[in-house]
Amino acid sequence: MKKVLPILLVVAMIVALAACGGKTEPDTTAAPDASEADTTPAAAPVEVIDVSELKLDPATEWSQYDELIAQIKAETDFAKRVELMHQAEDILMSTWCVIPIYYYNDIYMQKDYVSGIYSNKYATKFFMYTEMSNGSDTLKLNLASEPDYLDPALNSSVDGACLAANSFSGLYTYDANGVCAPACAESYVVSEDGLTYTVTLKEGLKWSDGSDLTAADFEYSWKRASSEETAADYGYMFSGFDGYDDGEINVKALDNTTLEFVLSAPCAYMEDLMAFPTFYPVKKEAVEANADYLTSPGGWCTEAGFVSNGAYVCTEWNHDVSMTYEKNPYWYNADAVKVEKLQFMLSADDTAIYSAYNSGDIDFADSVPTDEVKNLLDNPEFHIVDELGTYYVAFNAKSEIFEGKTAQQAADMRHAFSILIDRDYICENIGQTGQVAANSFIPLGMADGNGGLFKATATDNAYFDTNAIVNDTDATVAEAKALLENAGFVFGEDGKLSAETPIQVEYLTNESTGHVAIAQAIQQDLSVLGIELTIQQQDWNVFLDERKQGNFDFAREGWIADFNDPINMLEMWITDSGNNDCQFGR
């Protein structure tokens, strides 16, 4: 069990580290697998980490968190780095803006005549090696509704990452075992100090229009993705590069097939970054052919026919209805691609998707209605796979519901919400596929970057007891009531909030049976103290934008790791991150 670090020591440590400077959703062959972790639900009572004394105001004092993340990224002592990451999670959890619900797994439906599809732990699905034993050369499938972005530098959604992985190729990719493998890269060497990478590209690489793809395309694309002008949500992933703080990262093409880049500190997960969509190449001439490319950087690929370099190219796009991708004959491994077309049904309606699957209109469905899950558990076409991530709900730290409250009072309000939620009910009756109730943001089974696991069991590094609301309901409700009283709320004789100090909160979610069911469960849990939660459902793209802009009080969230290291779950909360939906430091 991790020791509690008193707030004065934390602040002193952060201030000291700030003077040192330093700046940046692993070796996957060496990292422990998530499936090796003990997923036994936590027994009650659970010893929890006390973060009650960490009183950083996420609206005004968040630069201290930013500085700590910068120090972690510059730290070369991996044991010390693990210690600092635990401290960063302590600070994050002390705000109670981030409320973990469960650790992810993934489900999908796949016809028995389909094979060769695989997924990594980060929810990216690869379709280029699909085989169809029914004689068809077309895979019909559903991932989600209309994608937010197809520009790999701008995407921040899981469905968008899947589309990017099948239509673009980076230096690296993932094989069917979830291990990083060369894609556009042939090989690379690293300097003795671990800072300078020299990558040799495959010979004869082409864009989908038949033109040559060279190292200069990667130089352009990485500088573009990391620039303030592009404002990519994941631009901070380049912050470990030399030159990032000065506005231009240190990457250059030495010749057509040699790319060199320099880091500011050694990075244990560089191959994973080279396999991540933000690091994929885009063709300069195609991007800048759009007259508004400076103000609308993703405008070049909002219709079918855009240039890419992956296994498939988008040839038809009926917005909000369907997309068609066709085999790219110029892809470096095109000879291994057997399916000629991918036809995507664009929908977020679980019932419609499931109906299309059952009628044979699609061969692969990435979601099913919640009320069908129980009946599908023994169906061989229903698949459950490991993922590395956390389903959570989040507060906007700057929401008007906290107006007039001190940082501690606001945290107490959010803390009360958290302990009232019955996570076991959500896992067993809504998730239904073996999800483990979450008591920390860093997911179960994630590697720590130092040869171990950051959270090996469901009872490690717990910030609250997920079973308390069931095992000791009265005491837990009383604790939540006391937290709200500390925040200035008054209760009536019936034990519920009085009319003079009501709590009325709007909960934002996208339209999906599972997400809405979780919202309704939370709504019922909070009503025990008279908290009024209203549920607002929005279309996927609107929902993403509203969260990003901070136009919400309370929202459903989820983060599937982009690589197997806790920094990925922690750096998303720095002030300038495009994934900082809680608006910390804004």
- pLDDT tens digits for range 142-192: 999 999 999 999 999 999 999 999 999 999 999 999 999 999 999 999 999
Shared domain check, 121 and 165? yes
**CA distance linking residue 191 with residue 182, whole number of Å:** 19
Of 348, 379, 407, the domain-final residue? 348
Of 323, 348, 373, the domain-final residue? 348
Instruction: Tell me phi and psi for residue 36, to 5 degrees.
Output: -80, -15
CATH of the domain at 551: 3.10.105.10
**CA distance linking residue 164 with residue 149, whole number of Å:** 9
CATH of the domain at 191: 3.40.190.10
Shared domain check, 343 and 289? yes
Has residue 398 been placed in a domain? yes
Strands 504-510 and 312-318: unpaired
Has residue 193 been placed in a domain? yes
Q: With contact defined as beta carbons under 8 Å apart, do 461 and 89 qualify? A: yes
**CA distance linking residue 23 with residue 142, whole number of Å:** 40
Q: With contact defined as beta carbons under 8 Å apart, do 410 and 398 qualify? A: no
Has residue 359 been placed in a domain? no
Shared domain check, 272 and 188? yes
Has residue 375 been placed in a domain? no
Reading the block at residue 154, the tokens are 């701008």
Q: If 0-12 CB within 10 Å is exposed, 13-18 middle and 19+ buried, where does residue 20 land?
A: exposed
Has residue 126 been placed in a domain? yes
Shared domain check, 461 and 409? yes
Shared domain check, 538 and 500? yes
Residue 99: closest CA among 343, 356, 388, 441: 441
Instruction: Please list the ranges in the chain whose pLDDT falls under 50.
Output: 1-44
CA 200, chain centre distance (Å): 30
Alpha helices in 458-512 (DSSP H): 468-471, 473-486
Ramachandran bin of 303, using left for φ above 0, alpha for ψ from -120 to 50, beta for the remaining angles: beta
**CA distance linking residue 144 with residue 350, whole number of Å:** 10
Name the DSSP letter for residue 334.
G
Name the DSSP letter for residue 430.
I
* pLDDT for the residue 10: 36
Instruction: Tell me phi and psi for residue 391, to 5 degrees.
Output: -85, 130
Residue 278: closest CA among 195, 161, 145: 161
**CA distance linking residue 5 with residue 578, whole number of Å:** 29
Reading the block at residue 111, the tokens are 């016809």
**Cβ atoms within 10 Å of 50's Cβ, excluding its own:** 12
Instruction: Tell me phi and psi for residue 417, to 5 degrees.
Output: -55, -45
Q: With contact defined as beta carbons under 8 Å apart, do 188 and 199 qualify? A: yes
Shared domain check, 211 and 322? yes
Q: Where are the beta strands (DSSP E) in 495-568?
A: 504-510, 532-538, 554-560
What is the tens place of the pLDDT at every residue in 486-509? 999 999 999 999 999 999 999 999
Name the DSSP letter for residue 429.
I
Give residue for tokens 């309606």.
349
* pLDDT for the residue 60: 84
Shared domain check, 221 and 140? yes
Q: With contact defined as beta carbons under 8 Å apart, do 401 and 553 qualify? A: yes
Has residue 380 been placed in a domain? no
* pLDDT for the residue 193: 95
Has residue 550 been placed in a domain? yes
Shared domain check, 179 and 69? no
Has residue 511 been placed in a domain? yes
Shared domain check, 490 and 414? yes
Shared domain check, 132 and 100? no
Shared domain check, 68 and 28? yes
Q: How many domains does the chain have?
A: 2
Shared domain check, 462 and 336? no
Residue 307 belongs to domain spanning: 112-348
* pLDDT for the residue 45: 61
Say whether 131 sits in a helix, a strand or coil. Answer: strand
**CA distance linking residue 558 with residue 571, whole number of Å:** 15
Of 319, 348, 377, the domain-final residue? 348
Q: Which helix (H) or strand (E) holds 342?
A: strand 341-345
